[in-house]
Amino acid sequence: MNLRRRLLSSTFLGLAFSGHSFAQNAPVVVREGLQIGALGALRSALPEVAARNGLTYEFKDFNDSTAALRAIEQGELDIVNTTTQHLVRAITEGIDVVWVAGWGGGYNVLVARKGLEVPANNAAALKALVDKRKGSNPVSIAVPTGSLQHAKLLGYLKVAKIDPDKDVKIVNIGFPNHSRALEAGEVDLAMTLAGFGSLAMEKGGATLIQHLYDGPFGKQEIGFIVRRKLIESNPQLVQRIVNSHVDAMKLFVGNMDKQIEYEKKYSRFPATVVDSTERQFLRYDWRTNVRDLKLMAKEMNGLGWSKDDVSPKIDQAIDLSFLIKATGQSANALSQW
C-alpha cells in the first residue's frame, strides 16, 4: 500500500525525532481545532510537551466537526481533529486536507432508556421490539442527524434488518440532551457519544444496547488533519506538530490510570462518568486503521451521503511520513492497530 512514502525525502532528513529539543527564539503558536468537550487527555498533555518541539498551542473549540472542517479550509487553523466521516466529506467536497495522525475510537454507543427491556449485543432482540411497535408507536432513536453516529446507526440498523426509514423514528437531538431525553421518556434509544451514554447509564438508569466498536464496526473514528498547503509550504512545522502529538499521547496511551488522570483535568463530566467512559469504551492510538477510513467511504456512498465511492482516493489523503519520523515505526505498522 502506497501511503505517500515518497515524501520521506531529504526535506525531512534534518528534522529532529520526537523528544529532541528544537533551537528556537520564541515558540511557534499552533492553532488547533477541537470539538467542545472533546479530547481532554490531549488538551491536558500537549502543554507539557509542546515546548520541546518549539511550539505552544492555542485551542479553538467548535460545536461539531463540520464547523472545524470549514475553519481549516479557510486557513483559520493549523491542525484539527476530525472524524473518518468528515475526511470523506472533505474529499467529496474538494477540500484539500491530509490525515497525518490517528487518535482512536470507541465513541459510538447505542443506549436504551430505563425500562426498555432489550439485552446488550443482541440485534435480533432489538428487531423483535421494533417489529412489535411498528406503526403508530415506533421505537424512537435520538441522534444528531448527519453526524458520524447517525451514519453508524444507519449501518447498524440495516445489518439488523431494521429499515431506518420505515421501522423506527429517528429524532434529531444533540448529544448533551440525550441523557435528559432518555430519562424523560421522550425517546427510547440514543445513538450517542460514549461520555453521554455513560452519563445516561449512571444518572438515568439507561442500559447499553451496543458499543459500535471493533469487528464489523471498525475501530478508527477520530484522527488529525492539516491542509496540504501547510505540508507543502512548511513541512518542518507539520513534523513538529505531529511530534508533539505523539509525545503527548505517549504520556498516557497504554496506561489507563494515567489516561483517566489527564482526561479528568479537562472533562466536564463527573469523575465517575469519566472513569467508566475511558475504561469501558475509549481507546487511543496515533496509528490509523486505513481500512476503516475506506470502509467509511463505502458506507457513506451506500447511504447516499456521497455521490461517489471515494475509497480509492483515501490513500492520497493520508500522509504517514510525519508519524514515521516521530515514532520510528514503519508505514505498515502505522496503518493498522
pLDDT at 1: 45
On whether both 234 and 320 belong to a single domain, the answer is: yes
Same domain, 154 and 240: no
* pLDDT at residue number 273: 97
Domain end, chosen from 163, 179, 212, is at 212
Tell whether 173 and 228 lie within a shared domain: no
64 and 31 fall within a common domain: yes
Nearest Cα to Cα of residue 206 among 141, 124, 294: 141
Q: Report whether 210 contacts 120 (CB < 8 A).
A: yes
CATH number at residue 205: 3.40.190.10
Mark whether 273 and 207 lie in a shared domain. Answer: no
Is 13 a residue whose pLDDT tops 70?
Answer: no
Same domain, 129 and 155: yes
Same domain flag for 225 and 311: yes
According to DSSP, the residues that pair with 59 across neighbouring strands are: 32
pLDDT in tens, 79-109: 999 999 999 999 999 999 999 999 999 999 9
**Domain finish residue from 191, 212, 233:** 212
Mean pLDDT of 29-47: 95
Beta strand residue intervals within 69-128, DSSP E: 79-83, 97-105, 108-112
> Residue range 99-125: average pLDDT?
96
Based on the domain organization, do 240 and 330 belong to the same domain?
Answer: yes
Give CA separation, 57 vs 23, 238, 245, 267, in Å: 18, 13, 11, 18
The answer to whether residues 197 and 230 belong to one domain is no
- What predicted TM-score, i.e. pTM, was given to this entire model? 0.88
pLDDT digits (tens, 9 = 90+) for 292-301: 999 999 999 9
pLDDT of residue 25: 65
Angstrom distance (rounded) from CA 89 to CA 79: 17
Question: CA 232, CA 224: separation in Å to the nearest integer?
Answer: 17
- Choose the final residue of a domain: 184, 212, 240: 212
- The pLDDT tens digits for 163-209 are 999 999 999 999 999 999 999 999 999 999 999 999 999 999 999 99
Asked if 293 contacts 220 with a C-beta cutoff of 8 angstroms, the reply is yes
Q: How many domains does the chain have?
A: 2
Alpha carbon distance 63, 175 (integer Å) = 11
- Together in a domain, 174 and 271: no
Residue 310 scores a pLDDT above 90: yes
Domain that holds residue 163: 108-212
Same domain, 297 and 311: yes
Residues 93 and 157 in one domain: no
